[in-house]
Chain A
Amino acid sequence: MILPRTIRRFKERREHRDGPYAELFEAYKGDEVVSLDCETTSLDVSKAEILSIGAVRIKGRKVMTSDRLDIRLKPPASLTGESIKIHKIRAADLVNGIEVEEALEQVLAFVGNRPILGYYVNYDIKVIDKFMRPIYGFGLPNKAVELSHVYHDIIKWKSIGGDIDLRFDTISKKLDVPIIERHTALGDAITVALMYVRLKHGSPPSVG
């Protein structure tokens, strides 16, 4: 059954409020955000398998790259052709990868109940949820922060009519933020984190 995420989160929160993962469901009070990115074998959630997960904490205007998550998983059977061209991760690059169970454990420990930031973050959350549900009985309960929405909300006041270009490279160029290792999970997570900090703390970018 496909339920909207909000309803499902609400339901899962009730079910797990007193469980061993109760603290994941508590409302977050701090000032940190976790920027997270997954490299997967497909853009279709139902087919996608996770290859690597990168995450980094943001505290105020600092991207805490010293405290980060950089996980490689065991190569899945579906790691072939098309996706390799994008993320350039081959099976050989994942020889020392860990099992998805362990990876999820690390992700939960790292993220806690902090909001999760990403570029098209719902996709990453959905993929993680897909692997989490069978094991934990719930998906990521965290609040999601969508970078392109943050960007859109700020820039829409400055652009008159027309669509706003929300492509990753365009945003990074507009914000004048260096792209760090495009198409590695950690690199993208850091770039997104930088764009977020820039949007939250800097002056609005110019349009045009």
Chain B
Amino acid sequence: MPDSFNMENLPFSLLSEQEQKLLRNHLDIGYFQRGETLIAAGQEPEGLFIIMKGRVGESDLSDASGDTEEKSHNVFVHYEDEDYFGGWSVLNGKAIHNFIAVEETICHILPTRILLDLIAGNPMFADYFQQNLTAKREIADQYGQSQDMAEFMLARITDGIIREPLIVPEKTSLREATQLMREHKADCVLAKRGNRYGMVTGTDLLDAVVLNGKPLEEDVADIASYRLISIDPEDYLFNALIMMTQQQIERVVVMRGNELCGVVELTDVLSHFSSHSHVIGLRVERAKTVEELRQAARGLTELIKALISTGVRIRFTMELLAAMNGRILGKLFDLLIPVDMRPHVCLIVMGSEGRGEQIMKTDQDNGLIYRDGLDWPGMHDAMKIFSDTLISFGFPPCPGNIMVSNPEWVNTTSDWAAKLSRWAESCEGTSVMNLAIAVDGKPVAGNSALFKAARGAFLRNIRNNDIFYSHFARASLNFETPLTFFGSLKDKGQLDVKKGGVFPIVHGVRTMALEHRILETNTFKRIEALVEMGQMQKSMGDNLSEALALFIQQRLKQQIIRVDESDTGIDETPNMVDLQKLSKLDRELLRDALRIVKDFKKFLTLHYHLSN
């Protein structure tokens, strides 16, 4: 096959020249019409599909009845240019989802046999491959799909968590053994007696000396346990976990035949799994102290990185992150707020967090609403601790100081409603911005009825107030969308996607959502609701969603690079997209997206009578 297949994409770039040749030699090209099934649930797939052109949806509908409209309802992943799919199904022997062409699609097909050969021959490729599948499974799990253990099943003992064993010869004293363990930071030692190994753990040493009164000169080999539980390095990590659970032990010895390879510890196994979303979720739920919660929150960053680097659709990553952040905030709330106060307060997140549209860890934008007349003298101190703890979790403080530690953002239900209304009446810039942030608010912990009451009061207040909507909508025209009259990208250098693209869409949609009393805060969901109500044409809604996702994705791609390149790990210009760094295709897409923004602004101008 000539260069129609792009080997520069991961994971194919991990293959050696020889392996790439093998892959090239076995690729076929398939053509599929819209609506045609590429892989059917329950069937063995032909192989791995890599899209050249077109779009394929993965859906969970196992029966093929119903019209396309209904079918597309359950599509939870779309695959497009150069995306690949079917790998999990290949490894699993059969597919559990349907893969159906949403558009006419041309794809490369790599037969199962060759894929398995490549996976077997190249551990890096296999790793990447499996990690990617895992990430995709996360999405499936988020959508309540089969909660199977596939992701665990795939990891093997050799996946880099074997610890080097600390081996001591016979006749080593308890004192020396302890000394060595300390030096090597090991918490167990293997004593060699003849050609057998016996394990001595820290607990064994304590028991021997403290409880059984053995002298420190005693031979460590005498207290070792020689009935070792061992596992093959090629075995699944999950089996090690089962073994440990069954035997109630915390380490197993890894043996290749008769050769000792090392030790696997329970903590390592658990941390290996710690970056999986539901494990993080579990850890968050189970956290009993702030410290435990902090540990769980750390895993989140890794998860996001993994999701992003493996190209999971941005919308799902955002939803996942929003859900996880919500759980962390909720848990921290439970840990820090006294039980008797919880029914009387409501914690809300606002801004991008409230919309569920943040990816990189962004500023905290949160506030508290409490019952009218609540008497809680310690409230301010508790809120201060809450904000500080979040900062220590790696959620940066808000530069605009929109945090519960700021009394401005801690209000009673009626004060909150009044504040919103006051902002709505004012024409001044800060008020509009504050209101924009506040109306994206979403309760995450405590008594959400308090929040709903305030929101209801505010919405009643602004109903039919056309002047307000017109005024509020105007902000979305504040920044020029960088297109020349001819529609090509104006700036050759940098583009501020937030001003030029993200904000006009988000704010315009926000205004329309307010007008039509849509309670959703997520922009994509707001768009869906507007379309459903007939307030926005479906084509416009689809375009806006696509454009917004594109802006966020392009921004994120460059953010990650900048963060990696900077010494401080901080991105100074988070909203800038360097046009030179984009591929031709990306530039074209960006241009189309900006055109959509431009059209949307025209629409807003007409709809809200905003002539310039």
Contact = CB atoms under 8 A, between A and B. Distances in A.
Contacts of A184: 2
B503 interface: no
Nearest to B4: A180
A180 B2 contact: yes
A66 B4 contact: no
B2 A181 contact: yes
B28 A65 contact: yes
A187 B4 CA distance: 9
A194 interface: yes
B29 interface: yes
B22 to A, nearest CB: 11
Nearest to A186: B2
A178 B34 CA distance: 17
Contacts of B2: 180-181, 184, 186-187, 190
A37 to B, nearest CB: 12
A206 to B, nearest CB: 12
Interface in A149-208: 176-178, 180-181, 184, 186-187, 190, 193-194, 197-198, 201-203
Given A190-B4, A202-B33, A203-B33, A62 B28 contact: yes
Nearest to B33: A202
Contacts of A181: 2-4
A32 to B, nearest CB: 13
A127 interface: no
A178 B4 contact: yes
Contacts of A65: 1, 27-29, 108
A133 interface: no
B26 interface: yes
Contacts of B108: 65
B499 interface: no
Interface in B1-46: 1-4, 25-34
Contact of B31 (A63, A64, A66, A180): A63
Nearest to A65: B1
A194 B33 contact: no
B106 A66 contact: no
Contacts of A88: none
A61 B52 CA distance: 15
A187 B1 CA distance: 8
B109 interface: yes
A81 to B, nearest CB: 25
A62 B4 contact: no
Contacts of A201: 31, 33
Interface in B518-552: none
B53 interface: yes
B27 A194 contact: no
A interface residue count range (under 10 / 10 to 19 / 20 to 34 / 35 or more): 20 to 34
B31 A62 contact: yes
A183 to B, nearest CB: 11
A184 B29 CA distance: 18
Nearest to B108: A65
Nearest to B111: A66
A20 B224 CA distance: 81
Given A176-B53, A178-B4, A180-B2, A62 B106 contact: no
Contacts of B104: 176, 198, 202-203
A174 B104 CA distance: 13
B28 A66 contact: yes
A61 B28 contact: no
Interface in B43-89: 52-53
Nearest to B54: A176
Contacts of B4: 178, 180-181, 187, 190
Given A66-B26, A194-B31, A198-B31, A178 B109 contact: no
Contact of A62 (B1, B3, B25, B29): B29
B29 A194 contact: yes
In this complex, which of B1, B30, B104, B108 has the most chain A Cβ atoms within 10 angstroms of its Cβ? B1
A190 B3 CA distance: 12
B106 A177 contact: yes
A202 B2 CA distance: 24
A178 B52 contact: yes
A66 B24 CA distance: 8
A195 B6 CA distance: 20
Contacts of A68: 1
Contacts of B25: 66
Given A176-B53, A178-B4, A180-B2, A63 B33 contact: no
Contacts of B109: 62
In this complex, which of B2, B27, B32 has the most chain A Cβ atoms within 10 angstroms of its Cβ? B2
Contacts of B53: 176-178
A53 to B, nearest CB: 14
Interface string B79-120: 000000000000000000000000010101101000000000
Interface string B485-505: 000000000000000000000
B28 A64 contact: yes
A184 B4 CA distance: 12
Interface string A49-62: 00000000000011
Given A180-B2, A181-B4, A63 B52 contact: no
In this complex, which of A63, A66, A184, A187 has the most chain B Cβ atoms within 10 angstroms of its Cβ? A66
A35 B604 CA distance: 53
Contacts of B34: 203
B543 to A, nearest CB: 20
Contacts of A202: 31, 33, 104
A61 B31 contact: yes
A26 to B, nearest CB: 27
A112 to B, nearest CB: 19
A131 B405 CA distance: 87
Nearest to B53: A178
B27 A66 contact: yes
Nearest to A57: B28
Nearest to B3: A181
Contact of A61 (B3, B26, B32, B111): B32
16 contacts: A61-B30, A62-B28, A62-B30, A63-B31, A65-B1, A65-B29, A65-B108, A66-B26, A176-B104, A178-B106, A180-B2, A180-B4, A190-B4, A194-B29, A201-B33, A203-B34
Pick the 7 closest A-B CB pairs, nearest first.
Answer: A63-B29, A180-B4, A181-B2, A197-B31, A66-B26, A61-B31, A187-B2
Interface of A: 61-66, 68, 176-178, 180-181, 184, 186-187, 190, 193-194, 197-198, 201-203
Given A176-B53, A197-B31, A203-B33, 18 more contacts: A61-B32, A62-B30, A65-B29, A66-B26, A68-B1, A177-B53, A178-B53, A178-B106, A180-B3, A181-B4, A186-B2, A187-B2, A187-B4, A190-B29, A198-B106, A201-B33, A202-B104, A203-B104
Interface of B: 1-4, 25-34, 52-53, 104, 106, 108-109, 111
